[in-house]
Amino acid sequence: DAGITQSPRYKITETGRQVTLMCHQTWSHSYMFWYRQDLGHGLRLIYYSAAADITDKGEVPDGYVVSRSKTENFPLTLESATRSQTSVYFCAISPKPYEQYFGPGTRLTVT
């Protein structure tokens, strides 16, 4: 357990609905990341945050929104879910430039 929890662990939703995936760390590390993992694409960075109220886009940000009002929480929102957003989503924290610790993941299915 790297001190990262993600909720929900499994989610099925319909196209067009708004969905929020939660990420919580028991530490107070500055850097937090959201990835999606798909067969054939590997891990792709969606958004990351260097501190509370500081966020930046990654490789595949379209259709996603993040916020970080508290250091320990980094929610990811799909504003209007599409089938192409069916994926496994991982949150990660980074205490050092070469270390990232991942949460258990959220399996999202958009029907």
Partner 1 sequence: QKEVEQDPGPLSVPEGAIVSLNCTYSNSAFQYFMWYRQYSRKGPELLMYTYSSGNKEDGRFTAQVDKSSKYISLFIRDSQPSDSATYLCAGSGGSNYKLTFGKGTLLTVNP
Binding site for partner 1 (CB under 8 A): 31, 33, 40-43, 45, 48, 50, 58, 90, 92, 94, 96-105
Judged by CB, which is closer to partner 1: 16, or 27?
27
Residue type for position 24: H
Nearer to partner 1 (CB atom), residue 64 or residue 90: 90
Give least dist CB 96 to partner 1, A.
8
CA 84 to each of CA 22, 23, 43: distance values in angstroms, whole numbers, following the listed order: 20, 21, 15
DSSP one-letter string for 63-89: TEEE--SSTTB--EEESS--GGG-EEE
CB of 12 to partner 1, least distance (A): 17
